[in-house]
Structure 1
């Protein structure tokens, strides 16, 4: 990853649920915490699974930040991790997404830049921001794309998870076009001021998915690292989620932990996916 003096915002996305977006997003935050890096985690999914992982309160949530009823600073909560703060989510996000689109009270605000404006006062406090998005393209997701610097698609080797890739790439390009047109601070050459598709990571990988991985690599930038699916790894993931700790902490030698370590090395120390 290139050097930057500002907060780098990474979005994890897929239009299908159950692919492991939340798992990878929370584990990236935990890995950065171990490196002593200050992280703001934003739970942008009304299901609030990441909020539960970090044992966050569901008061003063992202929905209220987007609605403008509280500041981002007031919504930020400490977690059990020294370097990770969180803005949590709850089911109120569903109502806010509809409200932003339909209510007259937002007509004098730039609906695509609500999150950008809210985060400006706190950006300097963090080196990274991790955003866990829902399996959807809605107003709050578009707001996330308006501030994201790196976007990672998380997918699994099944047709349902892969079929939405073209649609997501189209939405990503539309968001980038809006950023270029409307964001005066946009700069393609500055990592903290651009929108960059970092690539797709294949999660829950099994040996019989080699052809799927190859087809992904031909279609779009794809991380060299794959995250394997094993019975032991799946068990450790469930145990870690229940305890609110990373799998690396619980079982550093299991297949998931070893694969995830390689993924973090690729994320942090290579500029483009697929290059080791």
Structure 2
């Protein structure tokens, strides 16, 4: 059962949470939470505790929070078609979650190393593949407040066959993550544009996956193969793997083609959740990529940044 102490501790651990909207969502009088957060707080009426708990659970509160027990949500951002916005989604979703006060680890499982390059990390001394093929821990680099990266580069491509031929290859990332994931709230894995060993490792290690998808025929046709791969992983390796949903990216709402294709995809895969948040096509995204910055840093007032913030909020409410 939730207590006032747990409420206060949780809100203080999430500086990105704004008190007035929380009070409004919970349907409680204004300043109820504000007063509770003061050093000499008055008690929150018991009749409000359950309403507050319901809202806080939408933002990651669990029964184990106050017991010091934490295990990260591990999400693979996956689609075996390239150029659909996987890396952009990892970068900006991670940033948005970090601004909620959540500790986020990004893992670059793509040998192209685009995620790492976005943070100006080239040819790192150690990278994720080194850990997967040895006794070494996952190498973690601090990026910003609450934001961390396990890097990769092109050398990973030459060693994928070594990983594939290793004993327990598909579970190696799971084992490595189990050793450190209590240090984070979220782990976001940038998967390569293939269904090879690195994507399989990522999905086996994940509690959930998100599928960025364009509203184009070429993107649609590959989804069935991806869903079959996920089904196989559920059957043979990770039965708890959950598809959090499709998120449409690079959308031009002025195009009837995009609207029609989004509707077609929703109708074709009715068992799959589709995020309400849609990421628009925008030059701000391309400019942020050139600048090697997230949208919060390069274009904080842009439409796509506001959309990624909304996606983070939507994700938290699904947990």
TM normalised by structure 2 equals 0.73
Secondary structure at 1:113 match in 2: helix
2:279 corresponds in structure 1 to 227
After superposition, where does 1:76-87 map in structure 2 within 5 Å?
76-79=140-143, 81-87=144-150
1:242 corresponds in structure 2 to 290
Secondary structure at 1:163 match in 2: helix
Contact 1:56 1:77 in 2 (8 A): no
2:301 corresponds in structure 1 to 253
2:155, 2:106 → 1: CA distance?
A: 18
- For structure 2, list consecutive stretches of 5 or more residues without a partner in the other structure: 1-57, 63-69
CA displacement 1:200-252 (0-9 Å, x = unmatched): 111011232111111121213211221111xxx32x22332233332133323
2:243 corresponds in structure 1 to 197
Number of matched pairs: 247
After superposition, where does 1:64-103 map in structure 2 within 5 Å?
64-68=130-134, 70-72=136-138, 75-79=139-143, 81-102=144-165
| Correspondence for 1:166 among 224, 229, 247 | 224
Name the larger-Rg structure. 2
Contact 2:217 2:261 in 1 (8 A): no
2:187, 2:244 → 1: CA distance?
A: 15
| Correspondence for 1:33 among 95, 98, 121 | 98
CA displacement 1:135-163 (0-9 Å, x = unmatched): 00111111111111111111112111121
Instruction: Give how far 1:69 is off.
Output: 5.5
Runs of 4+ in structure 1 over 6 Å off: none
- For structure 1, list consecutive stretches of 5 or more residues without a partner in the other structure: 181-185, 187-193, 272-276
Secondary structure at 2:170 match in 1: coil
Contact 2:104 2:188 in 1 (8 A): yes
Secondary structure at 1:168 match in 2: helix
TM normalised by structure 1 equals 0.83
2:75 corresponds in structure 1 to 10
